[in-house]
Chain A
Amino acid sequence: MKSLDVRGMACPMPVVSVKRALESAEGGVRVLLDDGAPRENVTRFATGRGYTVTEEAVEGGFALAITGGEQQPAEPAAAKEGPVVMLVGADRLGEGPEELGRLLMKNYIITLLDLDKLPDRIFFVNSGVLLTVEGSEVLEALEALGNRGVEVLSCGVCLDYFKKREQLAAGAVTNMFTIAESMMKAGNVVRL
């Protein structure tokens, strides 16, 4: 069983780390984490995916043993295997008035929270990164998505272009190699 220590990490990193570990580990994961939000979020995430979670209090936090297999919901036969990757290429959805496009993008991201099946990863590129920085109105939604195991990743070059790297407020920075590789390995790419 793989061991993991996510104590001291800010949300949603505990969930993201556990998700990654579960993807690569056979026989489950043992994770040390802080009480409170990390403990609740990781437990909810793992049980929601059909894992069994056993917890014990240890010095300086909690230890969760996450075992069992992920119970895949029935998928349409046509769906390819592999992660679902979403590419957000702008801060607005569709073509038309800017104001409407921004409203629709905001609505789309908030609506994702109502879905059972979520993308595994969302990449924000070009003006899409304006959604992940301070002042964005979807930060609350992105944090909630992160807590459900969705990785939120912003293109570093794009953040630099807009001089917003220091203002990143959701998820992490990534590069084009990771974006391209992740898209090529995806079972399904959803481009917004």
Chain B
Amino acid sequence: MVKDGDYVAVFNSVHRVMEAERLLKDKKLKILVIPAPRALAADCGLALRYSEDLREEVEALLTAAELLPRHLYRKQGDTFVEIGAKA
């Protein structure tokens, strides 16, 4: 479900991920809520998946709405590389 180069934003709360989904879908952005990949999943286990071309817009909207994920990863080959811990 996560292709090479895709971004996976893992949230720490189901409410936040649903709010983020609503916000981004209202803007017609092609994001998908997925179970956080097992290699990354901790507690709530939900994540947003989006592609490189949407990154800027998605993250700007999430920042403005104070809905930044707990962790952000990028899929590279078989592994997930953390892009930098967010708030």
Contacts and interface: CB of A to CB of B under 8 A. Distances in A.
A141 B38 CA distance: 16
A106 B33 contact: yes
A110 B18 contact: no
B23 interface: no
Interface string A106-134: 11001101100000000000000000000
- Counting chain B residues whose Cβ lies within 8 A of the other chain, the interface size class is under 10
A70 interface: no
Contacts of A106: 33
A113 B1 contact: yes
A107 B35 contact: yes
A113 B35 CA distance: 11
Contacts, number: 23
A99 B22 CA distance: 11
A103 interface: yes
Interface residues of A, number: 13
Interface of A: 99-100, 103, 106-107, 110-111, 113-114, 137, 140-141, 144
23 contacts: A99-B18, A100-B14, A103-B14, A103-B18, A103-B33, A103-B46, A106-B33, A107-B33, A107-B34, A107-B35, A107-B46, A110-B1, A110-B34, A110-B35, A111-B35, A113-B1, A114-B38, A137-B32, A137-B33, A140-B1, A140-B32, A141-B1, A144-B1
Q: What are the 9 A-B residue pairs with the smallest beta carbon separation, nearest first? A: A107-B35, A111-B35, A110-B34, A110-B1, A110-B35, A137-B32, A114-B38, A103-B33, A141-B1
